[in-house]
Chains A and B, each alone.
Chain A
Amino acid sequence: MSDLQIFVILSGIVLTVLIAWYFWFAPKAQTLATVSASGAQEVAVTVKGGYTPDVIVVQKGRPVRFTFTRQESAACSERVLFPDFNKSAALPEGEQVTLEFTPDQPGEYGFQCQMGMLRGKLIVE
């Protein structure tokens, strides 16, 4: 086996570990929702190739007000769904769309586009 082949095998191992670490195991940055004067927890989310921020931490028992702004025309992201809360909203391009509900149970809930290509996570504490 040549040096080059060994090098390629080792690179393959390193890449595999990197991919697994980067996409699955590395901790993700979390965003805390800000509490407005009315007591609602407010989060502004930009939709462009993904949700920014995509990991959002809120307190249970308080209304959460999401403001989504979709900045792309790709039809994939035209709706955002919170399947666990049975909430969804159409996101016309460039418009601010608010979505409000109150999570009562702590836990991790996903939100996503219709076919699940873009994903985010709502952590209720």
Chain B
Amino acid sequence: MTVHDPVCGMELEPQSAFAKREHMGQTFYFCSQSCVDQFDKDPHHYVMTSATTGFNPQATLTRIELPVSGMPLKEHSTHLESTLRAVDGVDEVKANVSTGRLEIQYDAQKVDVARLVGTVKSGGFQVGGTKVRIGIENLRCASCVKFIEDELNATQGVLNATVNIATQEATVDYLPQNTTLSELNKAIETWGYKPRPGTSDAPVDKQEDAHAREYRKLMNKFWFAAAISVFVMITAYYQVMPILSDWSMDSLRLLWGVTALLALPVMFWSGSDFFTGAWAAFQHRSANMNTLIALGTGAAWLYSTFAILFPSVFPEGTSEPFFDVVTVVIALVVLGQALELRAKGQSSSAIKKLLGLQAKTARVIRDGKEMDLPVEEVLVGDVIQVRPGEKVPVDGVIVEGSSSVDESMLTGESIPASKKVGDEVIGATINKTGAFKFRATKVGKDTALAQIVKMVQDAQDSKAPIARLADTVSGYFVPIVMILAVWTFVIWFVVGPQPQFVYALVTSVTVLIIACPCALGLATPMSLMVGIGKGAENGILIRSGEALQTARAIQIVVLDKTGTITKGKPELTDVILSDQSIAKDDELLRLASSVEKVSEHPLAQAIVEGAQARKLTLAEVKDFEAIPGHGVSAKVENKHLLIGNLKLMNREKIVLGSLEEKSKSLADDGKTPMFIALDGKAAGIIAVADTVKEDSAEAIKSLQDLGIEVVMITGDNRRTAEAIARKVGVTRVLAEVLPEDKAKNVQQLQAEGKKVAMVGDGINDAPALAQANVGLAIGTGTDVAIEASDITLIKGSLKGVVTAIEVSRATMKNIYQNLVGAFFYNVLGLPVAMGLLFPFFGVLLSPLIAGAAMAFSSVTVVGNANRLRGFKPRFSVK
């Protein structure tokens, strides 16, 4: 058995320990005098260490509750229970199907939580819990990593802890109900380290951290290489240097020897990534940019060193080295990488903006106590208090109070939504007026916002089909460049001018260095990332690069009528009085809506809302009777009221006069008219209709301006459909289409040889959305996970379709620019580097210029992609 030195943490055998101390009933072993001294200064400190681990030798059995997910616990609970019972040290297991928790009693001396979690995970389950990242300051020694890990793992409620020395961070999975962040920080402090406030777990922040570190590292490497390069350049151009030009060849050779040695740290520190990367690639039988740089600079260094060591081997005047190529090229390429990294950071700003919407803390009420918790620690079922002006931290349902909530960041709806008990609230929205309490239903990665972020990120990493071309090319690119370099050397050596060897070597090194596979590889993903991010900023979630690419070439947009062009909800549109009416129109509406308030018909609600909008007070209703297929009859304020269709009026023998004509013209306009009779006489007509969204006509006009044919599809009768179509300026209408035939209609349009986009609500229209080349689902706010769609418009307006197509066109244009640029760079650069211009113009490319060109070609690609960030859609959403 081994023990740990409590001071330095070293693992040692008790019998071989340097010293031993007894304190408060515990025995401590030490590796060295200094550790003993340290212990003796404050022995109590080290006893505290184990006290915080939560390990109590008296209580043999520990109980833990693990929330599990990933599989239905109900079906697999027996199997999971028996698997866990088979683990040595586990005493009792109970799966609570309704809460989705496993209750385990175990012997903490025989088995630890990590092992239990591992067993649960190997059964295919996931263990719920919170993940937190804690920075650890000045973590230098690799051995301390293990002790901090052990300490954290021994803390109550910790499922798994790992310490990453490279990022100086501990990542801890823990159960927030069993421990808190401050307990974890304490565990780190017991080893004498200072925890930093946990850097955000947000992938973007983490990536930014990593980028900032990498940037500093690259810049250090660059400055070092640059400083050496200045010295090397002076020795390389000795002829024009004041003092050096008088030196003898022998002393110069000695100076070059020094530069040869100075170039080594440049190669193996500043340029270490090229050499390790090249070697790793070589072992994988692949080659990349690293291979080219390593080969180019390596060859230059070897030749130069050989030339100064054995000058006699080379013809007169050819034994001069070019170490400048080695150092300057490495300096430039490293600088290029640093600049590229900087530019890349800007490309991911869209995700950062989305994540910035997230609240940082939540005021959770647990056991009657209010406490401020980091939003990551909020559990499903927690009740959370939100005050006016605060952000809603997670998704949930209001249980107490009411308020109006600004959801514009997610739905684009500028008017705050009023919320009462039982209504859903969405995380990241802002509470305006009242205070309320809500129960969390979705936390962490399940919230609407988190899902949006995840979707955008996945899409940013997906591939546009156009990238496959670049991929195929770059798969062959580097070996081809190597072969080109070989033949450049051979041709220059065989038919080139004197000194052949030097010309051959310089040109082949230039070929290796100028080739830039990176620019090709970067061309698509960078633009895609910015373009999809730009879409997200405008409320358009593009699911993949493929969708983005296809959207560019759309020729026909098929719009579903209900809910897409129209609001999908009937509204009161007209109140028409008969020639000799007994009542004014407000009065008629008031009476009618009083009756309709009792009715359950969907059209009735539109009438009631219409009356409420005019601030009419409704009257009491007696003898209400619904006449199926006809309408309703009732008594209001001692008047007998009939509301219904023509059939009802005919049955009751009511003379309609001119009203019948008027009702026909209303129906022609796509409205639904209802006759009203007061005490047996025709009083008027109330019409309701599914009204067109305010901006539909404008959006359709813009689509047509983009050269896209707009088609409307609906299950409604042709008359209603054409009335709506006229209003919004659509000429081609597919009416009376059964829901199940919508996909077939899309297919028929495709058969015309056109690329078709379908816009629908994602639920009824799923088959048609899937059939279309691009399916756009109109969601409202939270329905981000609309599976059938390629693009989701979270802001519910048809203008999103225009913006989606604009984003797609702008992004694809940018990608073409990048690809063409990168392609031409290589196609033009390589022949020049090979010396193709030499026979005609005597021009030869210097390897130094080649290095600069290569370094900045990829920066240019990233820069061009970043230009997309300035893209402004025709319809700004803000």
Contact = CB atoms under 8 A, between A and B. Distances in A.
Interface of A: 1, 5, 8-9, 11-12, 15-16, 19-20, 22-24, 26, 28, 36-40, 48-52, 54, 72-75, 78-79, 81, 83, 86-88, 90, 92-96, 110, 112, 114-119
A28 to B, nearest CB: 6
Contacts of A16: 483, 486-487
B463 interface: yes
Nearest to A118: B288
B753 to A, nearest CB: 28
B669 to A, nearest CB: 46
Contacts of A1: 494
Nearest to B290: A49
B521 A8 contact: no
Given A94-B165, A117-B518, A88 B475 contact: no
Given A116-B471, A116-B474, A95 B210 contact: no
Contact of B525 (A48, A96, A110, A115): A115
A115 B165 contact: no
Contact of B277 (A54, A74, A83): A74
Interface residues of B, number: 62
Interface stretch (B103-111, B279-287, B304-312, B418-426): B279-287
Interface stretch (B211-219, B686-694, B848-856): B211-219
A115 B479 contact: no
B279 A81 contact: no
Given A20-B483, A83-B462, A87-B458, 13 more contacts: A11-B490, A37-B122, A49-B278, A49-B281, A50-B284, A54-B284, A73-B166, A73-B213, A86-B458, A86-B462, A88-B462, A92-B164, A117-B518
Nearest to B861: A115
Given A9-B490, A90-B206, A95-B171, A52 B284 contact: yes
B493 interface: yes
A88 B214 contact: no
A23 B858 CA distance: 24
Interface string B265-295: 0000000010011111101111111100000
Interface string B129-163: 00000000000000000000000000000000010
A8 to B, nearest CB: 5
Nearest to A79: B461
Nearest to A7: B493
Contacts of A117: 288-290, 517-518, 521
Contacts of A92: 164, 167, 206, 210
B755 interface: no
A88 B458 contact: yes
B124 interface: yes
A23 B480 CA distance: 10
Nearest to A36: B122
B793 interface: no
Interface string B446-463: 000000000001100111
Interface of B is mostly: helix
A95 B211 contact: no
Interface of B: 121-124, 162, 164-167, 171, 203, 206-207, 210-211, 213-214, 217, 273, 276-281, 283-290, 337, 341, 344, 457-458, 461-463, 470-471, 474-476, 478-479, 482-483, 486-487, 489-490, 493-494, 517-518, 521-522, 525, 544
B864 to A, nearest CB: 15
A114 to B, nearest CB: 5
Interface core residue of A16, A39, A48, A115 (most chain B CB under 10 Å): A115
A21 B539 CA distance: 50
A73 B214 contact: yes
A64 B737 CA distance: 44
Contacts of B273: 72, 74
Contacts of B470: 116
A38 B288 CA distance: 38
Contacts of B483: 15-16, 19-20
B118 to A, nearest CB: 10
25 contacts: A1-B494, A8-B489, A12-B490, A15-B483, A23-B286, A37-B122, A38-B121, A48-B280, A49-B281, A72-B273, A73-B213, A75-B210, A79-B461, A81-B462, A88-B458, A90-B203, A92-B164, A92-B167, A92-B206, A92-B210, A94-B164, A95-B171, A115-B518, A115-B522, A118-B288
B544 to A, nearest CB: 6
Nearest to A10: B490
A49 B279 contact: yes
Given A73-B213, A79-B461, A93-B210, A114 B525 contact: yes
Nearest to A89: B461
A12 B288 CA distance: 21
Nearest to B528: A114
A64 B337 CA distance: 34
A5 to B, nearest CB: 5
B854 to A, nearest CB: 14
Contacts of B166: 73, 93-94
B479 A8 contact: no
A19 B490 contact: no
A19 B166 CA distance: 36
Nearest to A5: B494
A95 B288 CA distance: 25
Contact of A50 (B203, B210, B280, B461): B280
A40 B290 CA distance: 35
A83 B206 contact: no
A28 B525 contact: no
A51 B211 CA distance: 21
A27 to B, nearest CB: 9
Contacts of B493: 5, 8
